[in-house]
Amino acid sequence: MTAFTAVDPPRTDAPSAVPRSPVPAAVLFHGVVLAETRRTWALLVDAGVVVLALVAGLVVTPLLGLVLPVVAVLSVLAGLVRHGRTPGHLALRLRTVDARTGMPGSPLALLPARGVTADLVRGRDPLRVIPSALTPGPRAALPRSADPWAAGSRRPATVVLLTDDGSVLQVTGPTIVGRSPVDPTGAHRLLGIPDLSRSISRSHALIEPHGAAVWVTDLGSANGTAVALPGEPLVRLAPNVRVEAPVGARIALGDRVVHLAEAQTAGLGTEGAR
The pLDDT tens digits for 181-211 are 888 778 888 887 767 678 889 899 999 998 8
Which CATH architecture best describes the domain 15-21+130-262? Sandwich (2.60)
In single-letter form, the type of residue at position 1 comes to M
Instruction: Return the half-sphere exposure (C-beta side, CA atoms, 13 A cut-off) of residue 197.
Output: 13
Contacts for 18 with CB less than 8 Å, ≥ 6 apart: 224, 236
pTM of the model as a whole: 0.47
* pLDDT value of residue 164: 55
Q: Three-state secondary structure along 29-71?
A: CCCCCECCHHHHHHHHHHHHHHHHHHHHHHHHCHHHHHHHHHH
* pLDDT value of residue 149: 30
Contacts for 44 with CB less than 8 Å, ≥ 6 apart: 88
* Res. 214 pLDDT band, cuts 50 70 90: very high
Q: Does pLDDT of 243 surpass 70? A: yes
- Look at 14 and 219; give whichever has higher pLDDT: 219
* pLDDT value of residue 163: 67
**What whole-number distance in Å separates Cα of residue 160 and Cα of residue 225?**
18
* pLDDT value of residue 46: 95
Residue-range domain boundaries for the chain? 15-21+130-262, 32-119
Across 111-125, 153-167, 248-262, least confident range: 153-167
**Rounded average pLDDT over 55-62:** 92
* pLDDT value of residue 237: 92
> Residues of the chain with pLDDT > 70: what percent?
70
* Res. 83 pLDDT band, cuts 50 70 90: confident
